[in-house]
Amino acid sequence: MKYQVLAETYAAIERTTSRLQMTARLADLFRATPKADIARVVYLTQGKLYPDFEGIEIGVAEKSAVRAVAQATGVKEEVVARRLGREGDLGTVAEALRANRARTRPVLTVDQVHEALDRAAHASGSGAQTTRLAAIAALLKRAAPLEARYLVRTVTGKLRLGAGDMTVLDALADVYGGGREARHDVERAYNLTSDLGFVAERIARGGLAALRKISVVVGKPIRPMLAERLGDPHEILQKLGGRCIAEFKYDGERLQIHRQGTDVQIYSRRLERISTQYPDVVDLVHRHLRARRAIIEGEVVAVDPDSGDLRSFQELMPRRRKYRIAEAAREIPTALFAFDALYLDGRDLTREPYARRRAALQRAITPTDRFRLATSREVSDPEALQEFFEEAIQEGCEGLMCKASGGIYRAGARGWLWIKFKREYRSEMSEPVDLVVVGAFHGRGRRAGAYGALLMAAYDPQGDRFSTVCKCGSGFSDKDLAGLPRRLKPYMRKGPDPRVSSRLKPDVWCSPGLVLEIVGAEITLSPVHTAGWDRFRKGSGLAIRFPRFTGRYRDDKGPEDATPVAEIAAMYRRRLRRTA
């Protein structure tokens, strides 16, 4: 097939703003395309060589493209650059320059264009720039003027015809599926594979019947299922038919993991291949995923290496990088919380109800601290949902994902089968507080043999009690950690001190004595901590989220001088008022 046919279609599409017209022009193009070329034609029409997830970009800087145009047309580089400065579009500059010397008949084929651009895109190493330039210049030398316009735009990433994925799908349905009734099946195939060229080739060769047989493919990312959002537990349960599977909504990065034996690939929420960013996750999959061929989804979250506590999304962000990856993985360890299975050892699970997918996922994973299923609970009562929500917040999560247990996996769709239950607000806790140590937890990992976290309490002078508000494992230097046993020793005791009110059971109990300065992100309701119990809601206390030791031991304060519970309640109330 001649590339000129594509160039003429592009020119026609450029002349219109009507989506119907665009679809019609694309449909004409597809009709004229031999089956063997259809995938390449679809990719090229989108300014690409392969589906996005392959991550292969032609990506030539405009400056290099100027050089290629100069080489191909025999015009000085400065002249090309000057014209570009005047006209603003290197495509039309190349077109005009080629018009002066082009042969009359277009000779380039789609195959040749794709092959040459592919060579340019894959050039690597020290001679990459030269190879790239040579491949493009050679192509331009053989191009008719109109072809030159679009080739230049393609290599510089500026093709942008305005015909998006959905328009291409419309045209494919029209040409090969017999009309718009086929649109649903075409889109389904696309949602399952994220690969327009693949879908085009299937339907071109085998019609709708072949298209309907497409199921998930290991190695082709599935467009993610998305959630609606509500803030009220009653409403959520009502939408989901009175009951749901509620899961912790982790605050990290969504990963779609594809495994084919020893090959593990990871895709981001936007379906970019990011396997190299997470060598730790790849390793976890090798060691703990029992299925040899699998597509699963999960959230990767930064964790404190010593306490295992979840860290905020911001702390995961430095993991998005191209260099010094191993170092970042060491500095910011992660845990993976799996929440869906779309394919396991030969079984496409996307049409199975969620409860069954989850059960299959559970069987497929050997759980560890670093890789396990998202914490979940079956809930049918709004109170229980609210309580679980607070537990999630307390654990460092963003809220809950409430899922219809009978819901299928609706790839690429946002709908009411999943509902996110998040708070509408978030507020900083600006002031540090002084809290009393009432217990300690043994450390794990690097902190084995030392304390991993301390149970901290505020003081309630009315009842003369110390009520817990957080478990704090962050902010301690190595020196602090080494010194803790000595500091805590005078206060250690067998059971809880009678003045301490705690629903948590630490490994070691302490009498109130040692006061530390703590900062946190905010105050939340909590079913775990006892400060202000029943005050704002029955069965809930108040807690400090993401607590961190500031490094200041308040040896100048006795336990009764610690921040009063009433003050923490006031901070919580202030936030409520601000968000009302």
Q: Indicate which residues carry an active-site annotation.
A: 249
Site for ligand ATP in 395-454 (CB under 6 A): 401, 420
Helical pair 77-87 and 90-99, crossing angle rounded to 10 deg: 120
**Candidate list 11, 134, 226, 329; residue touching ligand ATP; CB under 6 A:** 226
For the bound state, the minimum distance from the C-beta of residue 45 to ligand ATP, rounded and expressed in Å, comes to 27
Q: Which is nearer to ligand ATP, 132 or 545 (CB)?
A: 545
| Residue 244 is a binding residue for ligand ATP (CB under 6 A) | no
Q: Give the residue from 195, 215, 568, 527 showing the smallest Cα distance to 393.
A: 527
For the bound state, the minimum distance from the C-beta of residue 447 to ligand ATP, rounded and expressed in Å, comes to 27
| Residue 358 is a binding residue for ligand ATP (CB under 6 A) | no
| Residue 27 is a binding residue for ligand ATP (CB under 6 A) | no
Q: CA–CA separation, 305 vs 335, rounded Å?
A: 10
For the bound state, the minimum distance from the C-beta of residue 527 to ligand ATP, rounded and expressed in Å, comes to 19
In this chain, which stretch among 171-179, 247-255, 469-477, 544-552 interacts with ligand ATP, using CB under 6 A?
247-255
Q: Which is nearer to ligand ATP, 218 or 413 (CB)?
A: 413
In this chain, which stretch among 27-35, 69-77, 178-186, 242-250 interacts with ligand ATP, using CB under 6 A?
242-250
357's CB contacts (< 8 A; 6+ apart) are 340, 341, 342, 349, 409
In this chain, which stretch among 10-18, 65-73, 244-252, 425-433 interacts with ligand ATP, using CB under 6 A?
244-252
Q: Which is nearer to ligand ATP, 296 or 514 (CB)?
A: 296
Encoded tokens for 289: 């995923």
What is the H or E stretch that residue 285 is in? Answer: helix 279-288
Asked if 401 contacts 354 with a C-beta cutoff of 8 angstroms, the reply is no
Name the residue with the smallest CB distance to ligand ATP. 254
**Candidate list 2, 158, 254, 573; residue touching ligand ATP; CB under 6 A:** 254
| Residue 311 is a binding residue for ligand ATP (CB under 6 A) | no
Q: CA–CA separation, 539 vs 207, rounded Å?
A: 60
Q: Which is nearer to ligand ATP, 249 or 370 (CB)?
A: 249
Q: Which long-range contacts (CB under 8 A, 24 or more apart) does 208-216 make?
A: 208/176, 208/177, 208/178, 208/182, 211/177, 211/182, 211/185, 211/186, 212/185, 214/188, 214/189, 215/348, 215/350, 216/192, 216/295, 216/342, 216/343, 216/348, 216/350
| Residue 212 is a binding residue for ligand ATP (CB under 6 A) | no
What is the H or E stretch that residue 342 is in? Answer: strand 334-344
| Residue 227 is a binding residue for ligand ATP (CB under 6 A) | yes
Q: Which is nearer to ligand ATP, 270 or 552 (CB)?
A: 270
For the bound state, the minimum distance from the C-beta of residue 251 to ligand ATP, rounded and expressed in Å, comes to 7
In this chain, which stretch among 23-31, 97-105, 136-144, 248-256 interacts with ligand ATP, using CB under 6 A?
248-256
For the bound state, the minimum distance from the C-beta of residue 316 to ligand ATP, rounded and expressed in Å, comes to 12
Q: CA–CA separation, 440 vs 455, rounded Å?
A: 6
In this chain, which stretch among 243-251, 444-452, 514-522, 550-558 interacts with ligand ATP, using CB under 6 A?
243-251
For the bound state, the minimum distance from the C-beta of residue 419 to ligand ATP, rounded and expressed in Å, comes to 10
Instruction: Give the Å distances, CA to CA, from 553 to 50, 133, 313, 483, 520.
Output: 59, 64, 29, 12, 16
**Candidate list 67, 114, 142, 249; residue touching ligand ATP; CB under 6 A:** 249
**Sign of the dihedral through C-alpha 228, 234, 238, 240:** positive
Amino acid in position 382: P
**Sign of the dihedral through C-alpha 327, 332, 333, 337:** negative
Q: What is the DSSP string of 509-565?
A: EE-S--EEEEE-SEEEEESS--TTTTTSSTT-EEEEES-EEEEEE-TTS-GGGSPBH
**Candidate list 190, 198, 267, 339; residue touching ligand ATP; CB under 6 A:** 339
| Residue 250 is a binding residue for ligand ATP (CB under 6 A) | yes
First-to-last alpha carbon distance for the chain, in angstroms, is: 64
| Residue 270 is a binding residue for ligand ATP (CB under 6 A) | no
| Residue 257 is a binding residue for ligand ATP (CB under 6 A) | no
Q: For binding to ligand ATP (CB under 6 A), which residues are involved?
A: 226-227, 247, 249-250, 254, 269, 299, 339, 374, 401, 420
